[in-house]
Structure 1
Amino acid sequence: MITKLLLFSGFAGITVFIGGLLANFFNHHIKESPVKYEITHTLMSFGSGIMLSAIALVLIPKGMEELELLPIIFSFLLGSILFMLLSQYLAKKGGKTATLLAMLMDFIPESIALGAVFAIEPSMATLLAIFIGLQNLPEAFNSFRDLVQSGFTINKTLIIFFCLSFFGIAGALIGHFFLREYPDLTAHLMVFASGGILYLLIQDIIPESKLDKNYLTSIGAILGFLVGIIGDKVV
């Protein structure tokens, strides 16, 4: 049982590092061109769509199953407000970390939820592992670019991403051993994350993914959300 959980959470986490490696190759080994620029923005949109699907199909529904209306409102607004304040603080520092924050905001609570529901709902755990892995790939791809533009070296960024890959395993183990008996706490965490992710998407990520006089990049968001629908339906 634990071995299977480690495999699921390990798959979900390793895509963070793989996304960073792909971004490094794409950014430094593919010549600059309008097509490359469009691909980058389309991937940003794709990641946004997957994050929206995580909110709509996993985080909020699971939270609504366990919580009453007022606790949902409280956790959702708390996540939104705290990440608004954090985003303002980071903007003053001059860093571009919104995509990384959004990635961690769904990666960590979903990993904890993966561990918490693994023994109770194996099909839900499988869906979460697939969701997390698919989300992390484009999100890490975009986060890599943002961190490098903020002044991080390539090697330092890849080391950060390699370390973040293990957050999924750590979160899943925490959820499995400490939170599976407290579904309400897991639900609060998921709703809190939803508020933070939604703020970061609307404030930073979606506006940056848009290109003037280009309408195809937005299809990336549609396809990202469609991936979430397919995963939810198949699993």
Structure 2
Amino acid sequence: MFDSIISFFEKVDPVIGALIATTFTWLVTALGASLVFFFKTMKRSVLDGMLGFTGGVMVAASFWSLLAPAIAMSDGEGFTKVIPAAVGFGLGALFLFALDKYLPHLHINFKQSETEGVETNWHRTTLLVLAITLHNIPEGLAVGVLFGGVAAGIPEASIAGAVILAIGIGIQNFPEGVAVSMPLRRQGVSRKKSFFYGQLSAIVEPIAGVIGALAVTFFTPILPYALAFAAGAMIFVVVEEVIPETQLDKYTDIATLGFIGGFLVMMTLDVALG
């Protein structure tokens, strides 16, 4: 099955491959959001476990799929070899830091008064969607950058690695879709609107994926920086948003075990199949 998927992606243009792969991750988000048609609420323990799982996948992907290849493809030895990854990682974190400070958004389990970013009178629903959208920008970018590396002929960038990353991100996007749609439904939003906003949070992934692939295709030397950039952005999201959201109730142990599970799943996929 996996070999057939790799064979398919080897036959298409890598930029188109990035679009297809990130569309898949968006569709998995929509699948998670679709649970709102069957359930009105979800236990907080389950939601925290899912969010923890999401964080674990993102951290594992940041190293095995992004930072490790970025360091491997950099020239030089010692400090010289790690500079591109270090610079890219820092810039990625600063990019998300800036978005977090200026883009109005509201984390899932927070009160309306705890809205972050510039002051606005936007509806709570919009702010919740924007919070999850912040998660998805670096995820789509990461997949696109890897496909762009394939297009540029970089040995360390492989179709298998890009597909594995897309699968891992797709898996953790399922709970993200649930995490948006369920709270909206609980607040009285209709099922259709809750689903719509849940899937909408990931529509940015195909956009970011194509941008990342095209950028690396035209500017090959930036690939190690771009990979590390995506990793820095994802780690920022995990530490600043995902983990804190799982620590607001009494299910912190469940969230921690979810994190470990997500890390193990992504690490296993990357090492075993990559």
Sort the TM-score into its range (normalised by shorter chain). Answer: 0.7 to 0.9
Alignment-mate amino acid for residue 18 of structure 1: V
Match of 1:99 in 2: 132
Residue 203 (1) aligns with residue 240 (2): yes
Shift of residue 214 of structure 1?
Answer: 4.7
Residue in structure 2 matching 1:41, options 41, 45, 48: 48
Residue 75 (1) aligns with residue 88 (2): yes
Match of 2:108 in 1: none
Q: What does 1:150-161 correspond to in 2, within 5 Å? A: 153-154=193-194, 156-157=196-197, 160-161=200-201
Residue 212 (1) aligns with residue 212 (2): no
Larger Rg, first or second structure (1 or 2): 2
Distance, in Å, in 2 between the alignment partners of 1:169 and 1:216 is 32
Unaligned runs of 5+ in 2: 1-10, 75-80, 105-115, 121-126
Residue 167 (1) aligns with residue 202 (2): no
Identity %: 20
Distance 1:221 1:124, change over 3 A: same
RMSD across aligned positions (CA): 3.4
Distance, in Å, in 2 between the alignment partners of 1:83 and 1:7 is 26
Distance 1:110 1:18, change over 3 A: closer
1:215 aligned counterpart, secondary structure: helix
Match of 1:230 in 2: 268
Match of 2:110 in 1: none
TM-score w.r.t. structure 2 length?
A: 0.68
String of CA shifts for 1:104-133, please: whole Å, max 9, x gaps: 212223223124326853433332332343
Residue 113 (1) aligns with residue 146 (2): yes
Match of 2:70 in 1: 63
Unaligned runs of 5+ in 1: none
Distance 1:183 1:226, change over 3 A: farther
Please say if residues 144 and 208 of structure 2, whose CA atoms lie closer than 8 Å, have aligned partners that are also in contact.
yes
Distance 1:21 1:220, change over 3 A: same
Alignment-mate amino acid for residue 167 of structure 1: I
Please say if residues 50 and 227 of structure 1, whose CA atoms lie closer than 8 Å, have aligned partners that are also in contact.
yes
Please say if residues 103 and 139 of structure 1, whose CA atoms lie closer than 8 Å, have aligned partners that are also in contact.
no
Report the number of matched residues: 229
Distance, in Å, in 2 between the alignment partners of 1:15 and 1:223 is 19
TM-score w.r.t. structure 1 length?
A: 0.77
Distance 1:29 1:215, change over 3 A: same
Alignment-mate amino acid for residue 20 of structure 1: A
Distance, in Å, in 1 between the alignment partners of 2:202 and 2:97 is 27
String of CA shifts for 1:23-52, please: whole Å, max 9, x gaps: 2424x532546xx22111111111111101
Distance 1:161 1:219, change over 3 A: same
Match of 2:166 in 1: 129
Per mean C-alpha deviation after superposition, the further-off stretch among 160-169 and 203-212 is 160-169
String of CA shifts for 1:160-194, please: whole Å, max 9, x gaps: 357446437735xx62x663474431221121122
